[in-house]
Structure 1
Amino acid sequence: MKTYDFDRIVDRHGTNAVKYDALTDVFGRKELLPLWVADMDFATPDFILDALRRRLDHPVLGYTQLPDDYWPQIAAWIEARHGWRPDPAWMRFIPGIVKGIGMAVLALTRPGDKVVIQPPVYHPFRLVPEQMGRRVVCNPLRRTGDRYEMDFEQLEALLDDDCRLLLLSNPHNPAGIVWPEETLRRLAAICDRRGVVVVSDEIHCDMALYGHRHRPFASVSDAAAHCSVTFGAPTKTFNIAGVVSSYAIVPDEALRRRFFGWLEAGEFHEAPLLSAVATRAAFTPEGDAWRRQMLRYVEANVDFTDDFLRRYVPRIRAIRPEASFLVWLDCRKLGLAHDALVDLFVARAGLALNDGEMFGPGGEGHMRLNVGLPRIRLAEALERLRAAVDAR
Structure 2
Amino acid sequence: MENFKKVHNRENTRSVKWDMRHVVFQSDDVLPMWVADMDFQAPKAVNDALIERAKHGIYGYTMIDDNIKNPIINWISKRHNWEINKEWLSFSPGVVASLHMAVQAFTKPGDNILVQTPVYTPFYSVIEAHERNVVKNPLIQKDYYYHIDFEDFEEKLKQGVSAFILCSPHNPVGRVWKKEELEEMARLCVKYDVLILSDEIHADLIYPGEKHIPLASLSDEVANKTITFMSPSKTFNLAGLHASYVITPDEEAKKQLDNHLVKQGHNHLNTMGITAIEAAYQHGEQWLDDLCTVLDEHKKYVTAVLEEKTDVLTVIRSEGTYLLWIDCSKLQMNSKELKAFMNESAKVGLNAGIDYGDEGEMFMRMNIACPREILEEGVNRLITAVNNR
Using the TM superposition, give the Cα deviation of residue 344 of structure 1 relative to its aligned residue in structure 2, in angstroms.
Answer: 1.6
Deviations 1:299-323 (A, max 9, x none): 1111110111011013101113201
Relative distance call for 1:4 and 1:75 in structure 2 (3 A) is farther
Mapped to 2, the partners of 1:46 and 1:73 lie a distance apart of: 17
| Corresponding residue of 1:312 | 309
Using the TM superposition, give the Cα deviation of residue 53 of structure 1 relative to its aligned residue in structure 2, in angstroms.
Answer: 1.0
Q: Which runs of 5+ in 1 are unaligned?
A: none
The alignment yields a C-alpha RMSD, in angstroms, of 1.4
What does residue range 210-289 of structure 1 map to in structure 2 within 5 Å? Answer: 210-284=208-282, 286-289=283-286
| Corresponding residue of 1:388 | 385
Choose the corresponding residue for 2:83, options 78, 82, 85. 85
What does residue range 7-86 of structure 1 map to in structure 2 within 5 Å? Answer: 7-86=5-84
What does residue range 192-211 of structure 1 map to in structure 2 within 5 Å? Answer: 192-211=190-209
Mapped to 2, the partners of 1:28 and 1:59 lie a distance apart of: 40
Maintained 8 Å contact 1:175/1:321:
yes
Mapped to 2, the partners of 1:161 and 1:88 lie a distance apart of: 36
Choose the corresponding residue for 1:364, options 336, 361, 366. 361
Maintained 8 Å contact 1:4/1:290:
no
Q: 1:143 is matched by which residue type in structure 2?
A: Q
Mapped to 2, the partners of 1:197 and 1:349 lie a distance apart of: 43
Maintained 8 Å contact 1:140/1:361:
no
Deviations 1:74-131 (A, max 9, x none): 0110110111111111111121011111111111111111111110110111122112
| Corresponding residue of 2:320 | 323
| Corresponding residue of 1:375 | 372
Using the TM superposition, give the Cα deviation of residue 223 of structure 1 relative to its aligned residue in structure 2, in angstroms.
Answer: 3.1
Using the TM superposition, give the Cα deviation of residue 50 of structure 1 relative to its aligned residue in structure 2, in angstroms.
Answer: 1.0
- Bigger CA drift: 172-181 or 44-53? 44-53
Q: 2:228 is matched by which residue type in structure 1?
A: T
* 2:148 is the counterpart of 1:150: yes
Maintained 8 Å contact 2:145/2:318:
no
SS at match of 1:77: helix
Mapped to 1, the partners of 2:353 and 2:250 lie a distance apart of: 36
Using the TM superposition, give the Cα deviation of residue 159 of structure 1 relative to its aligned residue in structure 2, in angstroms.
Answer: 2.1
| Corresponding residue of 1:189 | 187
Using the TM superposition, give the Cα deviation of residue 9 of structure 1 relative to its aligned residue in structure 2, in angstroms.
Answer: 0.7
Q: 2:156 is matched by which residue type in structure 1?
A: L
SS at match of 1:229: strand
Relative distance call for 1:32 and 1:378 in structure 2 (3 A) is same
Mapped to 2, the partners of 1:154 and 1:25 lie a distance apart of: 39
Using the TM superposition, give the Cα deviation of residue 279 of structure 1 relative to its aligned residue in structure 2, in angstroms.
Answer: 0.6
Maintained 8 Å contact 1:245/1:276:
yes
Using the TM superposition, give the Cα deviation of residue 60 of structure 1 relative to its aligned residue in structure 2, in angstroms.
Answer: 1.8
Maintained 8 Å contact 2:145/2:317:
no
| Corresponding residue of 1:300 | 297
Using the TM superposition, give the Cα deviation of residue 161 of structure 1 relative to its aligned residue in structure 2, in angstroms.
Answer: 7.0
SS at match of 1:159: helix
Deviations 1:329-348 (A, max 9, x none): 01112222112211221100
Structure 1 runs of 4+ with >3 Å offset: 264-267
Using the TM superposition, give the Cα deviation of residue 4 of structure 1 relative to its aligned residue in structure 2, in angstroms.
Answer: 4.1
Q: TM-score, normalised by structure 1?
A: 0.96
Deviations 1:29-83 (A, max 9, x none): 1211000000010112221111011111113211111122221210110110111
Mapped to 2, the partners of 1:4 and 1:386 lie a distance apart of: 27
Deviations 1:127-157 (A, max 9, x none): 2211221111111112221221222211222
Mapped to 1, the partners of 2:374 and 2:71 lie a distance apart of: 36
Q: 2:210 is matched by which residue type in structure 1?
A: H
Deviations 1:204-226 (A, max 9, x none): 10111031000001011233212
Q: Which runs of 5+ in 2 are unaligned?
A: none
